[in-house]
Amino acid sequence: MRNDWILDVLTDLRSFAEQNGLKASAEQLGDTCLVVAAELANAGSEKRSQQAEAHDSGFAELSGGYPAS
């Protein structure tokens, strides 16, 4: 994940909130970390899926079709 730096920032913000008695903010930032991690993982799997589709399409065009199963 190239964009996982955002999780470090959110974790730092959550630590700050906890250390300064901002309980609700700390809890919200914890939830936000989970949401961001899920979205980053999903975005990564979507990108890999698109790359695989492009590869398969290119293979079909070059070979004249897919090999027999």
**Would you say residue 9 has pLDDT above 60?**
yes
Task: Determine the Cα–Cα distance for residues 51 and 26; give it in Å rounded to an integer.
Answer: 37
Task: Determine the Cα–Cα distance for residues 65 and 47; give it in Å rounded to an integer.
Answer: 24
The runs of H, that is alpha helices, within 1-69 are 5-19, 23-63
Task: Determine the Cα–Cα distance for residues 2 and 26; give it in Å rounded to an integer.
Answer: 25
**Would you say residue 51 has pLDDT above 90?**
no
pTM of this prediction?
A: 0.62
Per-residue tokens: 17: 């909130």
Q: What confidence tens digit (pLDDT) does each residue in 13-50 have?
A: 999 999 999 999 999 999 999 999 999 999 877 666 66
